[in-house]
Structure formats: structure tokens, C-alpha cells
Structure 1
Amino acid sequence: MIEAPAGHGDEEDDMSAMVPTGPSLARAYGTRASSLRLTRRGRLLLTLVLLIGMLALAVAWGPSVVATDGAGEPVPVRTVTVQPGQTLWDIAAASGLGGDLRAAVYEMQRLNGLDDAGLLQVGQQLAVPTG
């Protein structure tokens, strides 16, 4: 038996507790004391730390936007007024750009700040690339 003081030095607290020696709790349950078991909170904390680390790595080594010293090449455009029933695809086909219409539609969306090809209003002025 090991005797351990239970109090803080007061006369009333000068009691001792007897702790039996013998097999450890781990040995009693057939496992080793060195085996590590994380609680639910421990697993959550470990996952959170790993996610924060991965986010930090992604920010540090991820792609970044690089500004140049010079201005970009201006795109030659002409202005077209949207007629009833017209879509960006119709305007791109009528613009005479040739080639891939998807690229022309994308360029018109980019030039005019459009999110969706279906959101045109009759009378709306659109910049259409000419070259």
C-alpha cells in the first residue's frame, strides 16, 4: 500500500488515503498503458488543427494574382443594342467574329459584366468585340 496525504496541512485535513498497489488499470483491462486513445474532443481538435494547417499551406503556396506594370491590350469593340428576342448567342453569331461562338459569348459576358447569358434586356447596350 502507498500512503498519500489527502489534506493541505490543517489538523482536520491531515488524513491519509491508502492506495493499493498491484496491477495497473490498463493491465486489468488487457491493454497497454502506452496505447493512445483519443476522445471525441481530441479527434475534433486534431481534425481542426490539421484543417487549419492545410488551409495555411494552401494560402502560402496556392495560386496568386500577379499584377503587371503595363496596361493590358485594349479590346476593339462596337456597341450593339439588344433587340426583342435576341440572346448573346444570336448577337455573337451576327457579329461576324467567326470561330468558336462560345469564346465570343464568354468575351461579351466578360466585357459587359454579365453573369448569365439569359439576362438581357431589350434596348440594353452591349460591347461586342470586333477583332
Structure 2
Amino acid sequence: MTTIDIAAPALHVRPAVPTTRLRLTVRGRRVIAVLASLPAVIALALAILSGGSAIASHDAGAPAGTFATVTVVPGDTLWSIAGDIAPDADPRDVVDQIVTLNALPTGDVIPGQSLSIPVEYSAGR
């Protein structure tokens, strides 16, 4: 007769392997920094190169001298000027066009200030 010995299977235990940390040299850190910042540099370069297209276009634009000018007198406001030059138009639109055309930072005007008037309203005043 044969006997079978039932024994627990042998467990394979791996020897302890020392864990090493990833060590980056100065050169490695520089390479990672360059690779990480590369998309931002490319985006900035594209923005700088394509940003000037609106300023330097080949459009003819408005010839000099086509805008009439209005000199602000004491008591004038942009609203009153808009009402004088375009009585049939919405004053809000006219004021917005005057502010945009003259690149005014605020809606305040000073007596003696010269304002350019949009072409479509230049015959009104």
C-alpha cells in the first residue's frame, strides 16, 4: 500500500528586497521642469505671434478727417451731445459709439474737450 502524506503547500517567501527611492540628479530635475513648462511656453509664443493680427491688418480703415469733431461746452454731457447730434437715434447707442470712438475711460467729459463724432451722425450738429 501507498501512503499519501498531506502536507501544507510550501509557501514561497520572497527575500526582502531593499526598496530604493527614485533619485533625480540636478540634470534630471531640469529636464522635468523644461518638459512640464513646455506647453505653457508654446501657448505664450502662439499668443504673442498671433496677437498683433488685429492691429496690423490690411484693411483700409477710415481715412483721416472723415470724423466730425464737437467741442464740449460747460454743461454738456455725453447724453446731451448724443441727443443733439442724433435726435432720432437711441441715445444709449450714440453715447456708446462716442465712447468707443474716442476711447474714453469713463463717461465724463471736460469743457473744451474735443470729441470725434461717428460719421453717420456728423451732419446733425
The normalised TM-score by structure 2 is 0.50
Write 1 or 2 for the structure with the bigger share of helix.
Answer: 2
